[in-house]
Amino acid sequence: MEKVLYKRLIWEGDSVYPMVGIIGRPNVGKSTLFNKIVGQRISIVEDKPGVTRDRIYSKTEWLGKNFILIDTGGLEPKSDDEIFTKMRLQVEAAIDMVDLILFVVDAKEGLISNDEEVADILRRSRKKVLLVCNKIDNFKEMPASYYDFMKLGFGEPIPISAANGLGIGDLLDDVIKNLPEKKEDYSDDTIKIAVIGKPNVGKSSLVNKILGEERVIVSDIPGTTRDAIDTFFEKDGTNFVIIDTAGMRKKGKIYESIERYSVIRALSAIERADICLLVIDAKKGPTEQDTKIAGYAYENNKAVIIIVNKWDLIEKDTNTINEYTRIIREKFAFLNFAPILFISVKTGQRVNRILEEIKKVWEQFNKRISTGILNNTVNEAILVNPPPAKKGKLLKIYYMTQVSIKPPTFAVFVNEPELMHFSYKRFLENSIRQNFGFSGVPINILIRKR
């Protein structure tokens, strides 16, 4: 593949949304605070140190400001316990990626040496830190321990009771005051591509091959790429940005639970992208982790192209591609609209087809269908398969119109929306695809009462 003109853009953080990490030693109420903010019991809450062993995250908002909140396991700086060692590596990884840290301490237990050690770690990170003093039930009479925490050097603590929901609003006011603004400068005609997938499936190698340049460090060790780097380039008059999702390596250490870490990186890249290249290792086949990452792309209404890499390592016969396609379609049934490319980054096999496919999918992502032509198709579909009746009531479809693009979204006006069964909604989607294509692109159908 010929070399393309490109420039590298270091994206400050991995998400178009700022990230906030909840950090602290075990059992200070981090998971309770996380659940209270996001409004769901996502983290397991148990009065036992070490219950939350992996970071858990959720997109949330306060006063119209969106951000991603990350819960972490307890940070035990000097623990030799294997579980706490793994948790510490996870927390260090979280510290690397967030824009703001909520350092949670326990007012009932007071300031202890572990709090001071965690504070030293956070100071070295040079990240913005808000000190949060939890388990205060009476704000009019602060315990003596509250003032002891000022010795940590992060200013006056923000008092809260996560269990009772006290002070959470004031805390969130301070959070959004300290969040950075994140903006992108790309024009509307720039195609933003997220390269997603498990570690060590060839994502960085694929980026290098497309660019014709050794831009990203490539290694057989999962997690070699740590920073998220945008690469802007132009090819045949089309502008592209490739978002290479980061891995987990730092200072010679490979963090534990690498595949879990890859999910939040992939989620962040997916949010910023238009089209996702889901890269799968041909030798290992589609896995549960691949399905999870693909699910994020689907839930975020992104266009998807499935890339099966390392195809040169597969022994083939006349039916190999057909059989592999069948397996992928079964595993990713929700991505039945996504084209599949079988490639080898190592040999260059079919890599030159990727940008061509991206441009085709981009065209479909931006496609508009006129209301008149659309309703002719809908009327023909209704004649073939009339709407169902429910409890003696017949669903009447009056008309359909396209209301937006990226992804293509259609509004269907009916007499009673509750009569629209999901299977008939899928029938209408299939009719649209059969007549207008939309390869690689999700379709949204909104049911509206006339």
DSSP 417: G
Which of 55-64, 368-377, 412-421 shows the lowest mean pLDDT across its residues?
55-64
Residue 250, pLDDT above cutoff 70:
no
- pLDDT-derived band at 77 (thresholds 50, 70, 90) equals low
203 in a labelled binding site: yes
Residue 138 labelled as part of a binding site:
no
Is position 372 annotated in a ligand binding site? Answer: no
19 is in an annotated binding site: no
- Taking only the tens place, the pLDDT of each residue in 170-190 is 999 999 999 987 656 677 789
Q: Is 312 annotated as a binding residue?
A: yes
Find out whether 87 is annotated in a ligand binding site: no
Partner residues linked to 437 by β-bridges: none
Residue 180 assigned as binding residue: no
Answer for the pair 34, 68: CB distance below 8 angstroms, yes or no: no
Please tell me whether 309 is known to bind a ligand.
yes
What was the pLDDT predicted at 226?
41
Mean confidence (pLDDT) of the chain: 82
Ligand-binding site membership of 52 (annotated): no
Residue 28 annotated as binding?
Answer: yes
Q: What is the pLDDT of residue 101?
A: 94
High-pLDDT (> 70) share of the chain, %: 78
Q: Which string of b and e fits 168-207 if b means at least 16 CB within 10 Å?
A: beebbeebbeebeebeeeeeeebbbbbbbbbbbbbbbbbb
- 73-77, 106-110, 430-434, range with the lowest pLDDT: 73-77
Using pLDDT thresholds of 50, 70 and 90, give the confidence band for residue 267: confident
Can you give the pLDDT at residue 235? Answer: 85
pLDDT in tens, 28-45: 999 899 999 988 655 444
**Contact yes or no for 206/277 (Cβ under 8 A):** yes
Is the confidence at residue 124, as pLDDT, over 90? no
The answer on whether 13 is annotated among ligand-binding residues is: no
What is residue 79's predicted lDDT score, i.e. its pLDDT?
53
Q: Is 177 labeled as ligand-binding?
A: no
If you average pLDDT over residues 214-220, what whole number do you get? 48
All domains in the chain, ordered by first residue? 19-177 (3.40.50.300), 191-365 (3.40.50.300), 371-449 (3.30.300.20)
